[in-house]
Amino acid sequence: MTREKIYLFDTTLRDGQQTPGIDFSVEDKIAIAAMLDDFGFDYVEGGYPGANPTDTAFFTQKRTNRASFVAFGMTKRAGISTSNDPGLAQLLQAKSDAVCFVAKSWDYHVKVALGCSNEENLESIRESVEAAIAAGKTAMVDCEHFFDGYKANPDYAVACAKTAYEAGARWVVLCDTNGGTQPPEVGAIVAAVIAAGVPGSALGIHAHNDTGQAVANSLAAIEAGARQIQGTLNGIGERCGNANLVTLIPTLCLKETYAERFETAIDRETLAGLTRLSHAFDELLNRSPEHQAPYVGASAFATKAGIHASALLKDPRTYEHVDPASVGNFRKVMVSDQGGKANFINELKRRGIAVEKDDPRLDRLISIVKEREATGYAYEGADASFELLAHRTLGTVPDFFSIDGFRVMVERRFDANGHLKTVSEAVVKLVIDGASVMSVAEGDGPVNALDIALRKDLGKYQAEIGDLELTDYKVRILNGGTEAITRVLIESGDATGVRWWTVGVSENIIDASFQALMDSIVYKLMKNRQLAGKIAAE
């Protein structure tokens, strides 16, 4: 059975640019267009040449190799001819393969926003499409406010779509501009448009996420016969965002109900690069990837529940809706309050720590973890502290050094020039091989000062921690109020490129930070030894 093709239209660079807080430079756009082109989208919409200097500069050359490169713009203004509309001229001169016109299809907006007659608007659609085709471009029309317009005046909305199609538009895209339409309404209206004479093979859907259903609305349109989906990477876009193509693509490719009837330009091998694509895009936006994002989030295949975790390990397929590897993601089974013994053993095994099911030290470890988690520790976010605790409880980590005490001072005072300044100083007393070592340091804040002092002189271990670096620091106040407990999470890294998280908990933030810093150093020393052991064994 031949499967029908669903065309993927990416508008990250155009509608995605409407996201509050997101502004692309020309360089950003070039980089993103290359990512989209490489991945295999059918259409890459680059922006609105003529609307702003960035988009105009971006369209001075074609920016894709495989994908059709699309310029967005308005239909010609009413009352003038296509050849006399400077905006249209600029749009048609842009270096694009296709032009996507935005056209009003709600009669109310034709009157209020355009201030022209319904017939004049149809004429603008018709003549703009014809002008684009005459200029050698593929023409498309985004019917703005289509679903709200259809509810207000179905005949006129359909007339807009039909006019675009009959003038030669390759795609007529039905837009839920305000984002409030529900999936059953989308399905019914798309079906009505097809019944009125615009074939589904020429219909696209452009959905927004204002009721959290941009993905469902896109699929409802496909079910009803539309064959093109407009959306963005990671669902960025105005207000609540556009349809998330990163969610839609694996659903179309992997869910039987769609995959047996439809195909897209994304093959299995490309699909395995989806998580990387999504994270690379976030990287470019300088924001953390959303942990709970469908398919590609760090938590998308993470299991915390004890009752599920043990069964999951027996047969992952029955606990995962798709194979994480199919989208380039990973399974993650977490240690937590809720975890069972099997979960625990497995977590230890994954870290190269072998322990027998009936080893009493295992029960001790489990009870220590539970007890500590009850007081605020969160080992699921602090792998290294967990590993360290396990090694300590199982007796497989040496006592490298011990702590005799520390003192941290933060002082705000007037300097010699009469300006208030804040100074942070830390003193640390360690015992290494029976000898006492005392170090002092200043820092940007008390934790920074403590970190510097702690790593200033580790005696015979000093050379080993030269490449240790604190890369992130998080604080969370538990319980709140005056009986607050502070949880500190610290991320560290070293020259091998490995990163690890450690945790500290105390009613005193400095104490909590100190615990996490200590764990990080001891973990690093332990890690060096494991590495050395591996190298020696080879």
Contact call for residue 440 and a second copy (CB under 8 A): no
Residue tagged 């807080």 (tokens): 21
- Centroid of chain to Cα 481: 33
Among 124, 230, 303, 393, binds a second copy (CB under 8 A): 303
Which residues between 5 and 34 bind a second copy (CB under 8 A)? 17-21, 23, 25, 27-28
Q: For residue 444, how many other CB atoms are within 10 A of its CB?
A: 11
Tell me how far, at minimum, the Cβ of 481 lies from a second copy, in Å: 6
Among 83, 422, 462, 530, binds a second copy (CB under 8 A): 422
Mask for 445-464, x = binds a second copy (CB under 8 A): xxxx----------------
Alpha helices in 427-508 (DSSP H): 446-454
C-beta separation of 296 from 244 below 8 A: no
Angle between helices 383-393 and 360-374 in degrees, nearest 10: 140
Among 240, 498, 531, 532, binds a second copy (CB under 8 A): 240
Q: How many CA atoms lie within 13 A of 382 on its CB side?
A: 30
C-beta separation of 304 from 338 below 8 A: yes
The token pair that represents 3 in the structure block: 């499967």
Among 13, 67, 229, 510, binds a second copy (CB under 8 A): 510
Among 325, 484, 531, 532, binds a second copy (CB under 8 A): 484
Residue type, 290: E
Among 100, 369, 408, 526, binds a second copy (CB under 8 A): 408
Which residues between 160 and 219 bind a second copy (CB under 8 A)? 177-185, 209-213, 215-216, 219
Which residues between 328 and 367 bind a second copy (CB under 8 A)? 334, 336-338
Tell me how far, at minimum, the Cβ of 507 lies from a second copy, in Å: 5
Tell me how far, at minimum, the Cβ of 275 lies from a second copy, in Å: 13
Tell me how far, at minimum, the Cβ of 163 lies from a second copy, in Å: 21
By beta-carbon proximity to a second copy, the closer residue of 255 and 456 is 255
By beta-carbon proximity to a second copy, the closer residue of 293 and 465 is 293
Which residues between 78 and 97 bind a second copy (CB under 8 A)? none
Among 414, 416, 436, 536, binds a second copy (CB under 8 A): 414
Tell me how far, at minimum, the Cβ of 530 lies from a second copy, in Å: 26
Compute the distance between CA of residue 345 and CA of residue 480 in angstroms, rounded to an integer: 34
- Centroid of chain to Cα 363: 38
Q: Strand pairing partners for 71?
A: 47, 99
Which of 521, 483, 281, 277 lies closest to 384 in space, CA to CA? 521
Tell me how far, at minimum, the Cβ of 386 lies from a second copy, in Å: 14
Tell me how far, at minimum, the Cβ of 236 lies from a second copy, in Å: 8
Contact call for residue 323 and a second copy (CB under 8 A): no
Tell me how far, at minimum, the Cβ of 533 lies from a second copy, in Å: 31
Among 276, 476, 499, 529, binds a second copy (CB under 8 A): 476
Residue tagged 């990250």 (tokens): 12
**3-class SS at 47?**
strand
The token pair that represents 80 in the structure block: 């003038």
Contact call for residue 467 and a second copy (CB under 8 A): no
Residue tagged 């007393």 (tokens): 429
Q: How many residues bind a second copy (CB under 8 A)?
A: 131
Contact call for residue 415 and a second copy (CB under 8 A): no
Which of 473, 524, 452, 518 lies closest to 494 in space, CA to CA? 524
Tell me how far, at minimum, the Cβ of 139 lies from a second copy, in Å: 20
Mask for 29-68, x = binds a second copy (CB under 8 A): ----------------------xxxx--------------
By beta-carbon proximity to a second copy, the closer residue of 80 and 403 is 403
Q: Strand pairing partners for 73?
A: 101
Q: Which stretch binds a second copy (CB under 8 A): 59-67, 378-386, 387-395, 459-467?
A: 378-386
Tell me how far, at minimum, the Cβ of 149 lies from a second copy, in Å: 10
Residue type, 186: V
Contact call for residue 436 and a second copy (CB under 8 A): no
Which residues between 272 and 301 bind a second copy (CB under 8 A)? 286, 291-295, 297-301
C-beta separation of 128 from 87 below 8 A: no
Which residues between 383 and 402 bind a second copy (CB under 8 A)? none
Which of 207, 226, 121 lies closest to 164 in space, CA to CA? 121
H or E stretch covering 309: helix 306-314
The token pair that represents 246 in the structure block: 């990163």
H or E stretch covering 391: helix 383-393
Contact call for residue 506 and a second copy (CB under 8 A): yes
Compute the distance between CA of residue 390 and CA of residue 42 in angstroms, rounded to an integer: 51
Contact call for residue 520 and a second copy (CB under 8 A): no
Among 64, 75, 244, 385, binds a second copy (CB under 8 A): 244
Contact call for residue 123 and a second copy (CB under 8 A): no
C-beta separation of 54 from 25 below 8 A: yes
By beta-carbon proximity to a second copy, the closer residue of 268 and 413 is 413
Contact call for residue 495 and a second copy (CB under 8 A): no
H or E stretch covering 139: strand 138-144
Angle between helices 509-537 and 383-393 in degrees, nearest 10: 70
Which of 86, 21, 93 lies closest to 60 in space, CA to CA? 93
The token pair that represents 198 in the structure block: 């615009």
The token pair that represents 447 in the structure block: 């934790």
Pairing of strands 420-432, 43-47: unpaired
Q: Which stretch binds a second copy (CB under 8 A): 195-203, 306-314, 346-354, 520-528?
A: 306-314
Tell me how far, at minimum, the Cβ of 360 lies from a second copy, in Å: 21
Contact call for residue 417 and a second copy (CB under 8 A): no
Kindly state the DSSP code that residue 445 receives in the 8-state scheme: S
Contact call for residue 378 and a second copy (CB under 8 A): yes
